[in-house]
Amino acid sequence: MSDIPGQLRYTKNHEWVRLEVDGSATVGITDHAQELLGDIVFIELPETGKHVAGGTEVAVVESVKAAADVYAPLSGVVTEVNQAAADAPESVNETPYDAWLFRMSPDNAADFGALADAVAYRQMLGD
């Protein structure tokens, strides 16, 4: 069974989202996603300053098995990328909830509440 922290929100595409005290959102891929992908070998991060629409592709995670798109969980502007994760992609396999991919400033912070909580995400996975 995948690790699913209760304080995060989740998307159907297996991204996790943490709302920060400053109103920004930190985004990564879930433990379930990294398990499906296997050994991650490359991460293509989005451009900072780019406005993205919720549900659109913003990053790519490649493993020895496949490449997977990472989708913006919310509409907003990408404010920061985690170059350390791109430089050491295996960190996403080791600690998926610490090895975030990007941060964004959501257009509407209320949209965070529409994302799945841990219970709903666990149900999506059939756990």
User: How is the chain split into domains, by residue range?
Assistant: 9-111
Q: Tell me if the domain spanning 9-111 has CATH number 2.40.240.10.
A: no
SS3 assignment, position 92: helix
CA distance linking residue 19 with residue 76, whole number of Å: 13
∠ Cα 2 97 76 (to 5°): 115
pLDDT in tens, 76-124: 999 999 999 999 999 999 999 999 999 999 999 889 999 999 999 999 9
Q: Residue 40's beta-bridge partner residues?
A: 63
User: Once rounded to an integer, what is the mean pLDDT over residues 45-50?
Assistant: 97
How many other CB atoms are there within 10 angstroms of residue 30's CB atom? Answer: 23
- Look over the chain and give the mean of its residue pLDDT values, rounded to a whole number: 96
